[in-house]
Structure 1
Amino acid sequence: MPLPKHNLYPPFNIVRLSHVELVVTDLARSRAFYVDTLGLQVTDETKDAIYLRALEERGHHCIVLKKGEKAEARDLGFKVYSEEDLDRAEAFFKAKDLPVEWVERPYQSRTFRTRDPHGIPLEFYSKMDRLPPIHQKYALYKGVKPLRIDHFNCFSPNVDESAAFYAELGFRVTEYTEDEATKRLWAAWLHRKGGVHDMAFTNGKGPRLHHVAFWVPTPLNIIDLLDLMATTGYISNIERGPGRHGISNAFFLYIRDPDGHRIEIYCSDYQTVDPDLEPIRWDLKDPQRQTLWGAPAPRSWFEEGSVFAGVTPRDSDLAATPIVAP
């Protein structure tokens, strides 16, 4: 199937991805992982929630940990340019017969919840409380030294449909994986902010959250994190890597938090701001697609993900199989 065309004049303007809410079963255990090990900064904390930001971020939070009975993912947050864009976004989703619910969110201005056609819960806002910069307070740099949230990746039961919907919102495909037999998309990477992706889709039972990624300064920070995790009780939380992706050219590491939510530690992708940048195609069976050095991902990477609250995943429409590590 053909790639969706770039929509350079979308119905409303999304700046970038912003934040995610994850339900965790033990806040103290999660705090030890995200704050003491990864190095995210606490911006607020109650008995039921922890708000975190990374070191270059000025917004109040990029991740919210909420205490709950079972681990799951909630809304994926996106920032729009203006209050007028927020109103236009509301009209767009209503015209698609998708639900719009205005909600109160701590530290955010007017915010509404909706979902995409496959059921991924989304929220949109234009203003979040701003905090003083801390990017030059180097005494705060701990763990892997996370600088900013970089992207979401979600399992989609139909990647062609997912890519087409987000392209309508102004996201542009930078790279994609095509199944040679069917000519259908197996995965797609789409951006708003000028990197390789704000949002990516991987073929699989979905919708489910595959991972949340954080940008770090250098590959050496990833090596330091591995040493730290291996000697502080987190060796079993290391899932995949380190390595360099063929897709995006980024240096990566995949780890799992205490509840199984997957986190990617990520750096070194490339700029994609030119509106006429041509997407890069990868064949599903290319061994360098997953890792430039040829190492395939484990089966868990293709099958396990975080269920979205209140959403029942369905099997994917495409049965194509990638190369999987033995």
Structure 2
Amino acid sequence: MPIPAPNLNPAFNIVRLSHVEFGVTDLAASRKFYTEILGLQVTDEDQDTIYLRAMEERGHHCLVLKKKPEAGIDYLSYKVWSEEELDKAEAFFKAKGHKTEWVERAYQGRTLRSQDCFGAPMEFYYKMDRLEPIHQKYELYRGVKPLRIDHFNCFAPNVDQAVEFYGELGFRVTEYTEDEETGHLWAAWAHRKGGVHDIAFTNGTGPRLHHTAFWVPTPLNIIDLLDLMATTGYVSNIERGPGRHGISNAFFLYILDPDGHRIEIYCSDYQTVDPDLEPIKWDLKDPQRQTLWGAAAPRSWFEHGSVFTGVDTREAELKATPIIAP
């Protein structure tokens, strides 16, 4: 199925992905993992909620941990270009027949909540409290030394439908995997901020969050993280990698937090600023698409994901499968 032409004039203007809220069952265990192992910085906390940011970020938070009876994903959030874009976004989602509501979020201005084509919750804001820069406070650098949140990847029951919907929002596809037998998409990577992706979609039972990725300076940061995890009781949380993707060219590592939320640590991808940049096509049966080098992905990587709180899932419509490690 052909990739839709990029929509360079969407109904409202999304700048980039912003942050995600994780429901976690043990707030203390999650705090330790994200601060002492990954190295995110706490910007505020109380008995039920922790706000964190990475080292280059000026916004108040890129990750919110909320104590919940069951683990889940409460929403994925995006920053828009201006205050006026929020009203345009509301009109867009209402015209689609999607429920919209204005919600209160700490450290943010007006925030619009709606959902994508599969019911996954999306939030949009323009204003977030700014904090002083800390990227040169090297005494604060810990763990893998995360510089910024980079992207989300979601399981989608129909990747063609995801690409069409998010294309209307102005997300431009950079790379994609096609099943040659059916002509349908098995996965796609799409961006707003000029990297390989702000969000990607993987064929599977969904909607579910496959992973949240953080960008680090070098592959050596990932090696340091592996050494740290292996000697602090987290070796079983290492799921896949290190290795290099063919898609995105990224050096990667996948790990699981105490509740099983998957985190990718990620570097060495490329810029995609030009609006007329042609997307790169991969065949699903090409083993180098997912692993240019390194061990093949385990079965858990294709099956395990985090549910969106209160959102029903459905099985993938496309039954094709890639190469899976035994």
Q: What is the TM-score of this pair, normalised by structure 2?
A: 0.99
Query: Could you tell me how far apart the structure 2 residues matched to 1:323 and 1:120 are?
Result: 28
Query: Could you tell me how far apart the structure 2 residues matched to 1:41 and 1:64 are?
Result: 11
Counterpart code for 2:290: Q
Secondary structure at the aligned position of 2:293 is classed as coil
Task: Name the structure 1 match of 2:71.
Answer: 71
* 8 Å CA contact 2:187, 2:201 repeated in 1: yes
Which deviations, in whole Å up to 9, do the C-alpha atoms of 1:276-302 show, x marking residues without a partner?
Answer: 111000000101011111632100000
Query: Could you tell me how far apart the structure 1 residues matched to 2:294 and 2:41 are?
Result: 35
Task: Name the structure 1 match of 2:275.
Answer: 275
Secondary structure at the aligned position of 1:224 is classed as helix
Counterpart code for 2:279: P
Deviation at 1:117? Answer: 1.2
Deviation at 1:112? Answer: 1.1
Task: Name the structure 2 match of 1:43.
Answer: 43
Secondary structure at the aligned position of 2:114 is classed as strand
Secondary structure at the aligned position of 1:11 is classed as coil
Identity %: 78
Task: Name the structure 2 match of 1:4.
Answer: 4
Query: Could you tell me how far apart the structure 1 residues matched to 2:221 and 2:30 are?
Result: 21
* 8 Å CA contact 2:35, 2:42 repeated in 1: yes
Secondary structure at the aligned position of 2:249 is classed as coil
Secondary structure at the aligned position of 1:243 is classed as strand
Which deviations, in whole Å up to 9, do the C-alpha atoms of 1:194-253 show, x marking residues without a partner?
Answer: 000000000000000000000001000000000000000000000000001000001000
* 8 Å CA contact 2:240, 2:298 repeated in 1: yes
* 8 Å CA contact 1:288, 1:294 repeated in 2: no
* 8 Å CA contact 1:287, 1:295 repeated in 2: no
* 8 Å CA contact 1:103, 1:112 repeated in 2: yes
Task: Name the structure 1 match of 2:118.
Answer: 118
Counterpart code for 2:324: V
* 8 Å CA contact 1:159, 1:187 repeated in 2: yes
Query: Could you tell me how far apart the structure 2 residues matched to 1:74 and 1:322 are?
Result: 30
Task: Name the structure 2 match of 1:249.
Answer: 249
Task: Name the structure 2 match of 1:85.
Answer: 85
Q: What's the C-alpha RMSD, in Å, of the aligned pairs? A: 0.6
* 8 Å CA contact 1:151, 1:199 repeated in 2: yes
Matched, 1:144 2:144: yes
Task: Name the structure 2 match of 1:284.
Answer: 284
Deviation at 1:70? Answer: 0.6
Task: Name the structure 2 match of 1:226.
Answer: 226
Matched, 1:55 2:63: no
Which deviations, in whole Å up to 9, do the C-alpha atoms of 1:165-220 show, x marking residues without a partner?
Answer: 10111100000000010010000000000000000000000000000000001000
Matched, 1:206 2:189: no
Matched, 1:193 2:193: yes
Task: Name the structure 2 match of 1:101.
Answer: 101
Query: Could you tell me how far apart the structure 2 residues matched to 1:86 and 1:170 are?
Result: 15
Secondary structure at the aligned position of 2:118 is classed as coil
Counterpart code for 1:5: A
Query: Could you tell me how far apart the structure 1 residues matched to 2:223 and 2:245 are?
Result: 16
Counterpart code for 1:171: F
Secondary structure at the aligned position of 1:149 is classed as strand
Which deviations, in whole Å up to 9, do the C-alpha atoms of 1:73-121 show, x marking residues without a partner?
Answer: 1110000000111110010000000010100000000001100010110
Query: Could you tell me how far apart the structure 2 residues matched to 1:296 and 1:143 are?
Result: 26
Query: Could you tell me how far apart the structure 2 residues matched to 1:139 and 1:40 are?
Result: 13
Matched, 1:216 2:212: no
Task: Name the structure 1 match of 2:24.
Answer: 24
Query: Could you tell me how far apart the structure 1 residues matched to 2:22 and 2:208 are?
Result: 12
Counterpart code for 1:232: T
Query: Could you tell me how far apart the structure 2 residues matched to 1:42 and 1:88 are?
Result: 33
Q: What is the TM-score of this pair, normalised by structure 1?
A: 0.99
Query: Could you tell me how far apart the structure 1 residues matched to 2:160 and 2:74 are?
Result: 23
* 8 Å CA contact 2:241, 2:295 repeated in 1: no
Please, which runs of 5 or more residues in structure 1 have no aligned partner?
none
Query: Could you tell me how far apart the structure 1 residues matched to 2:104 and 2:70 are?
Result: 23
Query: Could you tell me how far apart the structure 2 residues matched to 1:308 and 1:166 are?
Result: 18
How many aligned positions are there?
326
